[in-house]
């Protein structure tokens, strides 16, 4: 992912954790909601569900375990869980900003 790329995701605030699924295109998500014959592979960006450990949509992302999916959705079938997240979650976009930090902090503050 390059700096300043816009990323689309669906955020689902669950009872036990917060879940995120990345999507390819907002239009594909909208079309899928109206026409379920559209394959999920055209909507999602990889069949991977992430959790943020109750840190909201901007938390650190880890892969969702089967146990966390079972607890929240009653199944750990990834396709079924993704469908529930897409149906009940909130669509969000964000832009990755360029990382700007000191490249060598051992040099101390820059002196002019």
| CATH number of the structural domain spanning residue 59 | 3.30.1250.10
Q: Residue 65's domain spans which residues?
A: 8-92
What region, left, alpha or beta, does residue 68 occupy, with left being phi > 0 and alpha being psi -120 to 50 degrees?
Answer: alpha
Q: Is residue 102 part of a domain?
A: no
Q: Is residue 64 part of a domain?
A: yes
Q: Tell me which DSSP letter residue 112 carries.
A: -
Q: Is residue 108 part of a domain?
A: no
**pTM of the full predicted structure?**
0.77
Q: Is 97 helix (H, G, I), strand (E, B) or coil?
A: coil
Note down pLDDT in tens along the chain; length 112 residues: 455 567 899 999 999 899 999 999 889 999 999 999 999 999 999 899 999 988 777 778 899 999 999 999 999 999 999 999 999 999 998 765 555 555 555 555 555 5
Q: Is residue 79 part of a domain?
A: yes
- CA–CA dist 13, 17 (Å, integer): 7
Number of domains in the chain: 1
Q: Is residue 99 part of a domain?
A: no
- CA–CA dist 74, 62 (Å, integer): 20
The 62-63 sheet, strands edge to edge: 62-63, 50-51, 18-23, 6-13, 90-95
């Amino acid at each position: 992912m390059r700096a300043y790329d816009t990323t689309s995701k669906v955020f689902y605030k669950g009872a036990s954790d917060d879940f995120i699924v990345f999507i390819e295109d907002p239009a594909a998500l909208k079309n899928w909601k109206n026409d379920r014959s559209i394959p999920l592979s055209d909507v999602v960006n990889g069949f991977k569900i992430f959790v943020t450990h109750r840190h909201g949509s901007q938390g650190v992302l880890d892969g969702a375990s089967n146990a966390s999916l079972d607890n929240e959705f009653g199944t750990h079938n990834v396709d079924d869980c993704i469908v529930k997240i897409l149906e009940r979650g909130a669509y969000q976009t964000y832009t990755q900003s360029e990382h700007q930090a000191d490249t060598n902090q051992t040099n101390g503050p820059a002196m002019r």
